[in-house]
Amino acid sequence: MRKYLFIIPLFFHHTYYSQQSKKALPCYDLTEVLKVEPTPLYKTHLDASKSFNVKLLKTTSTVQKYINSGKFHSIKKSGKGYKVQKLDYSRAWMVSKGKSILEKMGARFSKETKGHTFTVSSITRTLEDQCRLRRVNSNASLGISSHNYGNSFDISYVRFNGVLKNNPKMEAALEKVLKYYADAGQIYYIKEKQQSCFHVTVRNY
């Protein structure tokens, strides 16, 4: 009986620490992530992201470091002309120019549409966030994303005023605003058809 009493605790001790070790491992392989080559169009977004001197955001602690240093600023859940949907795979923090552009775009959209709002569907992501996202969305980027640097956000073009519905008039108004800031040299944007959103990267203008 003594023999079994000795073995059982050892078994649970080994199992517990095996589980703890698994939890400590990242859910992504950084070597594999870095191997993925961006398209020429997307490379301009990544180059713009790196100009903010923010290191690749791997974990929550990396994001917290930039929050503590004042480099990242909180994005309100709603502002003039925009609303941020519930974020399960990203964080409502950005570099100051990112926050500023989002707020300016919202105000301009509101003015041009007489009070309507667009929806922000994603903001800053860590590599861990991206890994979790890929588990539910196979279209999520396998490589480095400009979201991983705190200066990109996505705007849905099928959700306005909190309503999920195709609205060509509002979509055209939104793209007009995006083009205005792109022409001013302050952003890059891509229309992502699979995600039904505009991917916006703020430049270090």
**Mean pLDDT by 10-residue block, N- to C-terminus, for the chain (205 residues)?**
47 43 58 73 94 95 97 98 96 98 98 98 93 67 85 98 97 98 98 94 97
DSSP single-letter state for residue 73: E
Model confidence, pTM: 0.82
Q: Are 62 and 55 in contact (CB under 8 A)?
A: yes
- The residue written with tokens 């079994």 in the block is 4
Amino acid present at 193: K
Q: For residue 83, what pLDDT is reported?
A: 98
Q: Give the distance, in angstroms, between the CA of residue 130 and the centroid of all CA atoms in the same chain.
A: 8
